[in-house]
Structures are given as C-alpha cells and as structure tokens.
A and B are shown apart, each in its own frame.
Chain A
C-alpha cells in the first residue's frame, strides 16, 4: 500500500466510524429517554396518593426550620406508616415561591409574613428568640440598644462606661451563617462587618460556655438554651432588651423584641394529609423536638 492509498483507507474507515459513533449517541439518547419514561409513572402515583391520607409531602423553605421540620416529619412518619415527608431547604423566599407555584405542599418561612404574602395561609409552629447574656457576677443589670450597639461596634470597650467595673469588655459574636447572628444584626440594624468581636463562636452552647468562663464577656444566644443553662446553675444572666425581660415566656407571647415567628405556609387552606401534618406540627406532641432544636414552643 503506497502512502496516498493508506490515507484514503484511513479516511474511509474514519467516515464509517463517525456513522458508528452517531448511532452510539442515538442509542444513548434512547436509553436516556426510556429511563425518564420509566421514572415518570412513579411520581404520578405519588401525586394521586397525596389526596388520600397516605403519600408524600414535599416541604421546602427556610434552612433554619429545616432540621426542626425534618425531625417532626420523622416522628410523623413513624405514626403514619404510608406517609413520607420530604424536607428541602433553600430559604424562606423559596418556600413562598415553591408553594405559590405548587412545587411544594408546604413552605417553611422563618420570619413574619410580608404584606404581599398575607394571602397565603400561615401556621406558626414555634418562635425563635435571641437574648443578650452576661456573666452572673457582672453588676450591669441592663443595657440600652444604643449601649449594645456601641459595645458590638467597638466604640465602648470598658464596662465602666455603661455602669460596670473598670474592666475591658470581651465581645463574643456568632460565626457567619448562624441564624441567631442574622436575627441579632437585623434587630440592631448592624452589618456583619461592623461588629468588632474578640471571640467568634459557633453554636449556642459554646456561647454560653464562653460567657460563663469570662466575667467580662458579653454574648447573645438562643433564649431557650440560655434559660435552660441558667436553670442548671451555669453562671450566666439574660439581660432584658427594650425593657422586656428575656424569657421563653416573653418570646412565646411575642413581646420580646429580638424574636421571630417560624411559620408553615400553604397555597390554599390545607386539607387531608397537609392539614394532618400541620396540625401535628402545631400540637404538644412535638414540643420536646422544638425545645431540642433550641426554639420556643408556642403554647403549653
């Protein structure tokens, strides 16, 4: 075989192979389409089942609420063998949008409903409150909002200025991404970068331990955690905010200012399985789960 013939031979083989590989791709597409086709009927059954008291509930929305609702969902599944509760996250606004579009049966919203969302039926399941804590032996009894802002922005650095001992203030802040940080910043109208902190902590327990171990520290944690630890003899004290004592009681009745309601929402007034789940999430049977997730149950 001389050289040009060899090239021509290669060329012929090449075009044959292109056809061959096209068939391959076609085959793959067919296989894929079959896969999708097989997949769809299963979903359809799940949707028709939803009207009966068995089936699948899809819940999307606030990541703050997701662990709580997941746990409630697991307990609900144990009670109702034919029910599946799938919880997805993505934020409160996503919960609202998914419910409006019918992509989710129930939405999770970790704030008060906005004016343009008032048409959606909303069901509060719990409240989340954030309280400022000091060491038990710190003589300061109360701080105004302005004083708290001055301390957290580094303008006030000594307890003497706000009526305490002559000692440097240790500011304890929450790590980025914690919902308590957001609630705290939102109430005091601060930006995350304005805060000048000496200690950055992760969870509530860590915040309590840091303040309990430092007489000059100031921190803020979920009120449920703080109240529980205070009752267990941990040397911390919750400060009132805006003249309202920080307690699960004032969080529950909505008078405590640094708090927010945690809602479940639906597009239309709930019926069937959706209603059963929302009723269950609002019932006393889940109060232990709500407390376990450091939230405040609504009523005893």
Chain B
C-alpha cells in the first residue's frame, strides 16, 4: 500500500519534472531557433557600412543608416512624452488615490482596456489626430506621440504596481520622522518603486521598437535621413516588413535588419536593467 503510493508520488513528480523542464526548453528553443535563423541568414550582411549607409534600390542594396536614426528619434519622442506622464499618473493612482474611489477605478479600467487595444487602432487614431487634426502630417513627431499613447497604459500600470509594492511602513515611518509627503515620495518611495517602472519601461520600449502597424500611418515610409522631427521617417520594423513583404529580392537585407533590431532590443533591455539596479542601490543608500 505505502509502496504503491510512493511509486505514484514518484511518477507524479517525474511527470511534473518533465512538464516544467519541457516547457522551459520549448520556450528557450523557440527563441534560439529564431535568433539562430536570423544570425544564419543575416550576419553576413551586417557591417559598419550596412549600419551607416542609406538604402538603395528600394532597400535591396545599401544599408539602414537613416532608418536607425529615425527609429531612435521616434523612440526618443515616445519616451520623452510617455515617461513623465506615465510616472505622474502612476504616482497619482498609487499614492494619492484610494483603491475604491470612483476616479481610481475608472482610470484603472480605462488603462487596462487601452493596454489591450490592437496597435493598428492606435495607428489609425494617431493618423486621424496627430497627422490630420493637429496638422503634424506624416512625421517622426506623430509617430512618437502615437507610440507614447500606446505605451502609456503598460508603463502606468506596471509603475503603479511598483509603487504599491513599497511597504506602507516606509511611508508611515517617514511621516513619523516628520518628512513631508513630497520628500518621502522623491527620496524613498520613488527609488524603491524603480523595479516596477523598469518592467514597464522594458515592456514599453519592446512594444514601441517592434511596432509596425501604429507607425506606417503616422511616421511613414520615407527612408531619407530625417532633418527634423517634422520629417517623415521609416522605422526599422517597417523597413523589415517592406523588404520581406513588398520588395522582391529584399529578403537578405530584411534578415540583416531584423538581426540588428533584435540585438538592439537585447542591448537596450540589459543596459536599462543594469543601470537601474546600480542607481537603485546608490539612491537608497544615500537616504
């Protein structure tokens, strides 16, 4: 009796072991396959010239220089707008609004709905509002602002979670020491909430840099080197989409561009997390 139960337990454990490791292996293998395929087809085309030269013959030849610049500018506009508004809203929601207030509930529900809206809807909204109503036309500014709208819900919600994860005892202790609410927020709660902000930032940047649908109708298709934020500029993801789906003979450069995009994303993610971990340690030490 005891023997058979032990056997069954062992079997259960074995099954769980296989399932857990199998799932993990599957996820890793998918990523490795994808990355391997990109490296295999794309690496031989990536060079310094490829990264700096303008595209030629509809992107079949030449490089992605202007496209990298446009992508960086779009991302810059997006973050410059989304970060202050995002952190501000998260502070308001987590620190100054009670969980059960109507305002808090309505705002949170709206953000959750917005986070699930398909990116093409943001693209059409951006085209109608930024490009036409505000008269910005197809421009890097329109693209960046549209991306900011798209990234904000994710950024706000995960930053808010970061604020909520800070123990209430921190705030009470600070109040007991006579620190003002603002001082507490800036020197104690904000640094402690950085991990949540970081998660939101990484998710947001990831979504923004890989975005195609929201950008094709806002920042546009022009692959010239942008001279101002009001110029149309082609993002890397749109370039990859165009080369692989619209330009026959563009596959090789599409692979190379996709490889650059993935590497860029990996670099950004690891830099952000390392920087923040460093900053977090220093900040809390000095308080």
Contacts and interface: CB of A to CB of B under 8 A. Distances in A.
A36 interface: yes
Contacts of A225: 248
Contact of A205 (B91, B232, B248): B248
A17 B92 CA distance: 9
Nearest to B250: A203
A13 B180 contact: yes
B88 A21 contact: yes
A14 B246 contact: no
Contacts of B134: 36
A66 B221 contact: yes
A72 to B, nearest CB: 11
Contact of A13 (B81, B137, B141, B182): B182
A35 B85 CA distance: 16
Interface in B221-262: 221-224, 228-230, 232, 242, 244-251
B169 interface: no
A29 to B, nearest CB: 10
A192 interface: no
B230 A43 contact: yes
Contacts of B232: 86, 88
Contact of B248 (A9, A84, A203): A203
Contact of A203 (B141, B175, B180, B251): B251
A106 to B, nearest CB: 14
Please tell me the size bucket of the interface on A. 35 or more
Q: Is the interface of A mostly helix, strand, loop or mixed?
A: helix
Contacts of A202: 244, 248, 251
A206 B171 CA distance: 65
A293 interface: yes
B181 A67 contact: no
B245 A177 contact: yes
B101 to A, nearest CB: 12
Nearest to A87: B221
B96 interface: yes
A24 interface: yes
Contacts of B132: 103
Contacts of B180: 13
Interface string B146-170: 0000000000000000000000000
Interface in B31-59: 57-59
A231 interface: no
B176 A6 contact: yes
A14 B96 CA distance: 7
Contacts of B245: 177-178
B220 A88 contact: yes
A89 interface: yes
Given A17-B96, A42-B230, 12 more contacts: A6-B172, A13-B182, A14-B96, A17-B182, A21-B92, A28-B88, A42-B228, A58-B138, A64-B246, A66-B242, A67-B247, A90-B217
Interface of A: 1, 6, 9-10, 13-14, 16-18, 20-21, 24-25, 28, 32, 35-36, 39-40, 42-43, 58, 63-64, 66-68, 70-71, 74, 84, 86-90, 103, 177-179, 202-205, 222, 225, 292-294
Which 9 pairs show the lowest CB-CB distances between chains A and B? A203-B248, A67-B58, A13-B181, A177-B245, A86-B222, A88-B220, A203-B249, A88-B221, A204-B248
12 contacts: A14-B96, A17-B96, A17-B182, A40-B135, A43-B135, A68-B58, A86-B220, A89-B221, A89-B242, A177-B245, A202-B244, A205-B248
